[in-house]
Amino acid sequence: MTIHKEGRTLLFFLLVFLGIVNIAASNYLSHYYTARLLILIGSAILFLLVLQFFRNPIFQILKNDKHVLAPADGKVVVIEETEETEYLKGRRKQISIFMSPVNVHVNRMPVEGVISYYKYHPGKYLVAWHPKSSTENERTTVVAKMKNGTEVLFRQIAGAVARRIKCYVTEGQQLEQGEEFGFIKFGSRVDVFLPIDTKIVVKVGDITKGGRTILAELE
């Protein structure tokens, strides 16, 4: 387990701030042991809560060209056939994963491939489970073209709390299955759009682990 680069600066300044708060409490509340203890405990809890937002687990990726891996830790909230209108321009199977504040926030490549399309869309901050969040919220759209020519589209979507999306890809870049492609601070949602003949092996309500859970099997 490591600390993700997106959180290191924030955690450093938070630690300095909490240190100053506790030093000040020791000086000005020297006769109030209970108050100082509560401030210390509260500081520790706050730091640990923020720390867990930025944890980055280390594990082995079991790569398979036939498998679509979960791009994020979270819960499957949508499985449906839909029309993808931005890039693929056709019917696709959509799987949506909701990331809560307690999930790991690293986003990983569901398949191996070359990035054939990338676009950032500014937008609203509707709650992540809102039906229009996929098209109206701040989001990024990424498409990976596999060796066999199949293109898989996946989309990071901001929510009411998560307002910082980071995506590290560029068009033409080759990325491995399970490799990190982005980060969403404090949760939100990731959508994956797959060919219509894809066999889905998860169901709504399933808990996913990014880079480990198999979402679907490609034909």
- Collapse the DSSP code of 84 into the 3-class scheme (helix H, G, I; strand E, B; otherwise coil) and give the result: strand
119: left (phi over 0), alpha (psi -120 to 50) or beta: beta
Name the catalytic one among 96, 133, 134, 188.
188
Let me know if 188 is a catalytic residue. Answer: yes
- Contact at 8 Å (CB) between 156 and 192? no
The secondary structure of residue 114, as a DSSP letter, is: E
CA distance 130 to 124: 11
187: left (phi over 0), alpha (psi -120 to 50) or beta: left
CB-based burial, 66-84: b 16+ in 10 Å, e otherwise: ebbbbbbbbbbbbbeeeeb
Cα first-last separation, the chain: 34
Taking each continuous run of H as one helix and of E as one strand, the counts in the chain are 3, 16
Which residues does the annotation mark as catalytic?
A: 188
